[in-house]
Structure 1
Amino acid sequence: MIKIKELKNEKEWKEAFPVMKQLRTHLSIEQFIELVHESTEKESYKIVALYDNDKIVAVTGFMPMITLYNGRFIWVCDLVTDSDHRSKGYGEALLNYVHNWAKENGYDIVSLSSGLQRIDAHRFYEHKMKYDKVSYVFLKKV
């Protein structure tokens, strides 16, 4: 049975970590928990899991933002499906959850970035989910 649920406490976040670690390989469990705590409190970050038979198989993290470019919108920070469970529609289900959350909360844009090397993910976003490729994201460590 498939279930999608927002994770609201440290116990649930820890259960999601093995899947999130597949995307955010640089994070330890301690760093992950600390960042989720801070981002949920300060940035209204939401972390949502898709369960298949009571096991977390996909996770997304998103938050409302305001910029002059997009106005009020939702930024998808993280989206990952466990490597043993890909191509089963879980990523699509989670993005649709985000789209519905956005509409229900007065947002009409959902935006995300994806690493240059993630060609399969780009195909998924553009072809399956009908996202437009509108920019590059640049990063400089200072």
Structure 2
Amino acid sequence: MTVTIKVLHHPEEWKEAFPVMKQLRTHLNEEEFLTMVEKAASLEGYKIAALYTENEVVAVTGFMPMITLYNGEFIWVCDLVTDVQHRSHGYGKVLLSFVENWAKENGYGIVSLSSGLQRLDAHRFYEEKMAYDKVSYVFLKRM
């Protein structure tokens, strides 16, 4: 089986990734997704990468460079999802490793992300398979 990863640059490509991304970002419809990706890409340097098997998108990640006083310059993984029918095949590990390599190649020494409190399987994946450290909680207040 051929596995390829491609950074997606255009709305037509983003549409290919939407059905998988929708599994993580269930509140978005395709139009909202495309609008937000366009805005985040142009204003924040947000990128979407998709992992394909046999020309089918089976995993997607969204990531972007950030600067904070805590981390300095780093890559923030905004989204990481594998299609429900393709989980437990190592695609998430391959895709997150792609982001880590992209970060290194572009001069970033840190990759960071947050994960919902209820996503215990994801937490085990990040800590046990990807060697990420749990260093904080993320707090949110809706206004």
Query: Which TM-score bucket, shorter chain as reference?
Result: over 0.9
User: 2:99, 2:16 → 1: CA distance?
Assistant: 20
SS at match of 1:57: strand
SS at match of 1:108: coil
1:135 aligns with 2:132: no
Aligned to 1:90: 91
Aligned to 1:101: 102
- Partner letter of residue 2 of structure 1? V
Aligned to 1:125: 126
User: 2:127, 2:138 → 1: CA distance?
Assistant: 16
User: 2:35, 2:41 → 1: CA distance?
Assistant: 10
- In the TM superposition, residue 115 of structure 1 has moved relative to its aligned partner by 0.3
User: 2:23, 2:132 → 1: CA distance?
Assistant: 23
User: 1:110, 1:85 → 2: CA distance?
Assistant: 24
Aligned to 1:56: 57
SS at match of 1:107: coil
Q: Where do 5+ consecutive residues of structure 1 fail to align? A: none
The count of residues paired between Structure 1 and Structure 2 equals 142
Q: CA RMSD in A?
A: 0.4
| Sequence identity (%) | 70
User: 2:7, 2:36 → 1: CA distance?
Assistant: 16
User: 1:44, 1:80 → 2: CA distance?
Assistant: 20
Aligned to 2:68: 67
- In the TM superposition, residue 50 of structure 1 has moved relative to its aligned partner by 0.1
- In the TM superposition, residue 102 of structure 1 has moved relative to its aligned partner by 0.4
Q: Where do 5+ consecutive residues of structure 2 fail to align? A: none
Runs of 4+ aligned structure 1 residues displaced above 4 Å come to none
TM-score relative to the length of structure 2: 0.99
- In the TM superposition, residue 94 of structure 1 has moved relative to its aligned partner by 0.6
Aligned to 1:28: 29
Aligned to 1:9: 10
- In the TM superposition, residue 91 of structure 1 has moved relative to its aligned partner by 0.3
User: 1:28, 1:123 → 2: CA distance?
Assistant: 29
User: 2:138, 2:51 → 1: CA distance?
Assistant: 28
User: 2:94, 2:62 → 1: CA distance?
Assistant: 14
- Per-residue deviation, residues 58-87 of structure 1 (Å, max 9, x unmatched): 000000000000000000000000000001
SS at match of 2:48: strand
